[in-house]
Amino acid sequence: MKKTIRYVLSEGIKTLQDNHITHAKIDATLLLEHLLDIDRVYVIIHDDEVITEQAYKLYRHGIMLRAKGKPLQYIIGHVAFMGLNFTVNEHVLIPRQDTEILVEEAITCIQKNKVTHILEIGTGSGCIPISLCHACPTIKVTTVDISKEAIEVAKENARQHGVEDRIAFIHSDLLQQVDKTKRYELIISNPPYIKREDIQGLMREVKDHEPMRALDGGMDGLDFYRRISTDVMEVASHRCYIFYEVGHNQSIEVKDILEERGYTHVKIIKDLAGINRVVTGEKYQS
């Protein structure tokens, strides 16, 4: 059989379907587009083009990894977030579309209140500070991650987007290594928030491939909201905004955590699917 685009695609889709991969067609197509550096229109118009033996080998290798459950984003090594392209590997959480609402809300707050100094907790791929810097040319961000490998990925992404001079990356467990003499006007985090008992029930591709440290939020999933909301008070400016992404059904608890610690104007914001996704608050201190 001639290895045309049409043929290898249908063969790849079949392999994925046989292995119960849900988005078989889109995954096989994205993989082929990535390997041949072509777009969707090319795939459709030139579907009788024969691909090289080398490209076919790489493609089949990718299909086999995907068939075993490896997320496509780790196979092709990048993902789109806020319209930007981010490099990812298995040391970082795959940026989710769900997180875009967090970034959008923070951008609105930054612009409205002329915020300049931001602290992010748990950067992963760096998708949050990099998108913020891209949208807001005058801000500076300090960000931390407990994983050295994640910091490397985030730094590489910052370089690719030309914002490395505006982001300080610190290898740190929460605020441990952060300079406590600095002050920040906005704190942002998409912390690990999966409840311990829910981890076993996660989809296999998440559980077996994404970094557990980026997911595990402790017994009730709220450990990091408690720790961050308390710890950041030490570096919060006189008036400081806090922005969290929260998991399904966590918004009321996170609102309580903030209010118990004296944050005011606590608001819950829904994502496009109507799910409570972001909790924000303000902190005034003298």
Cβ 125 vs Cβ 154: under 8 Å:
yes
Q: Which residue in 285, 273, 267 sits closest to 248, CA to CA?
A: 273
Q: Does 281 bind ligand GLN (CB under 6 A)?
A: no
Applying CB under 6 A, which of residues 192, 221, 247, 281 lies at the interface with ligand GLN?
192
Task: Look up tokens 């030139």; give the residue.
Answer: 46
Select the span of 37-45, 48-56, 130-138, 187-195 touching ligand GLN (CB under 6 A): 187-195
123/276 with CB nearer ligand GLN: 123
Feature table: binding site for S-adenosyl-L-methionine: 122-126, 145, 190
Q: Does 141 bind ligand GLN (CB under 6 A)?
A: no
Select the span of 53-61, 108-116, 179-187, 188-196 touching ligand GLN (CB under 6 A): 188-196
Q: Does 107 bind ligand GLN (CB under 6 A)?
A: no
DSSP-derived letter for residue 95 is: P
Query: If DSSP codes are grouped into helix, strand and coil, which group holds residue 204?
Result: helix
Q: How many CB atoms lie under 10 A from the CB of residue 141? A: 26
Site size with ligand GLN, rule: CB under 6 A? 13
Residue 134's alpha-carbon distances to 57, 88, 107, 160, in angstroms, are 37, 18, 10, 12
Contacts (Cβ under 8 Å, ≥6 apart) of 133: 139, 141, 158, 161, 163, 166, 167
Select the span of 66-74, 91-99, 235-243, 258-266 touching ligand GLN (CB under 6 A): 91-99
Q: Does 127 bind ligand GLN (CB under 6 A)?
A: yes
Q: Does 142 bind ligand GLN (CB under 6 A)?
A: no
Q: Does 95 bind ligand GLN (CB under 6 A)?
A: yes
Cβ 86 vs Cβ 147: under 8 Å:
no
Cβ 124 vs Cβ 191: under 8 Å:
no
Copy the structure tokens of residue 205. 């591709």
Q: Which residue is nearest to ligand GLN (CB)?
A: 124
Paired sense of beta strands 140-145 and 117-121, if any: parallel
Applying CB under 6 A, which of residues 12, 62, 71, 191 lies at the interface with ligand GLN?
191
Applying CB under 6 A, which of residues 214, 235, 246, 257 lies at the interface with ligand GLN?
214
Give residue 75's identity as a one-letter amino acid code: I
67/150 with CB nearer ligand GLN: 150
29/189 with CB nearer ligand GLN: 189
Q: Give the binding site for ligand GLN (CB under 6 A).
A: 93, 95, 99, 122-125, 127-128, 190-192, 214
